[in-house]
């Protein structure tokens, strides 16, 4: 059996107390897509969305800093899952929530090592 074998992967996830996150995030993404398609995003509370965003941001930074690498933080290619408007709206609100502005973002902005 190779590590790419689905049975090996499932055994690994079952033995990992955080393995459930893999399947749950896939389900959350599917549910969110359906809510957006049907115009029912309001069915999810503001607090639930804030908890998901907070956890995702913190995990992304911990992984990229801890593993000294970056990776694409969004699914899909370019704007097929998240539009530029959606991304910039979210970033703007995150900055506002932390009492930061575009100047602080410009100071922290860095090019990824793998970019031209």
Q: Give the whole-angstrom CA distance, residue 32 versus residue 48.
A: 12
Q: Which residues contact 63 (CB under 8 A, 6 or more apart)?
A: 71
Whether 13 and 23 have beta carbons less than 8 Å apart is answered as yes
Helix/strand/coil (H/E/C) assignment for every residue in 76-97 = CCCCCCCCHHHHHHHHHHHHHH
- The pTM score is 0.78
Q: At what angle do helices 20-37 and 6-15 cross, to 10 degrees?
A: 100
Q: Which residue has the higher pLDDT, 106 or 1?
A: 106
Each residue's pLDDT tens digit, 83-101? 999 999 999 999 999 999 9
Each residue's pLDDT tens digit, 19-65? 899 989 999 999 999 999 999 999 999 999 999 999 999 999 999 88
Closest alpha carbon to 59 in 10, 21, 17 = 21
């Amino acid at each position: 059996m190779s590590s790419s074998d689905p049975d090996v992967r499932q055994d690994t996830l079952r033995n990992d107390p955080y393995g459930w996150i893999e399947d749950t995030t896939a389900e959350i993404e599917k549910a969110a897509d359906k809510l957006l398609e049907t115009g029912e995003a309001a069915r999810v509370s503001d607090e639930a969305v804030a908890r998901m965003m907070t956890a995702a941001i913190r995990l992304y930074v911990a992984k990229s800093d801890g593993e000294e690498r970056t990776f694409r933080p969004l699914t899909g290619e370019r704007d097929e899952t998240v539009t530029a408007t959606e991304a910039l709206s979210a970033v703007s609100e995150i900055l506002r929530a932390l009492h930061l502005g575009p100047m602080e973002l410009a100071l922290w902005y860095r090019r990824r090592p793998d970019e031209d």
